[in-house]
Amino acid sequence: MNDVQQDPCAHCEEMMQPYLDHILTEAERVEAESHLDECDWCRRRYRFEESLRVYVRQAADEPMPEELKRKLAALRIPLN
Ligand SMILES: [Zn+2]
């Protein structure tokens, strides 16, 4: 009974952008949140992405220093 065992973290990662855009269906949102409840790693990923978005939104008003841009880019850890 272990066919198509999708990595729950990979699935959660897929839902992150639509989650933050608030375009997930209710069922998907509940699924993502229940995973976030038990997965520290994904919770941190979501939180980081969310804070990044807030920052980017604020930074749209003023130019971001190149050095800071590089630091932010370095923080984005590829999953694979
Ligand atoms: Zn996870």
Residue 3 CA to ligand 1 center (angstroms) comes to 19
Q: How far is the CA of 57 from the centre of ligand 1 (A)?
A: 26
Q: Are 35 and 27 in contact (CB under 8 A)?
A: no
Separation between Cα atoms, residue 73 and residue 59, nearest integer Å: 15
pLDDT at 56: 81
- Band (74; pLDDT cuts 50, 70, 90): confident
Query: What is the tens place of the pLDDT at every residue in 17-70?
Result: 999 999 999 999 999 999 999 999 999 999 999 999 988 887 777 776 788 778
Distance 21 CA to ligand 1 centre (A): 19
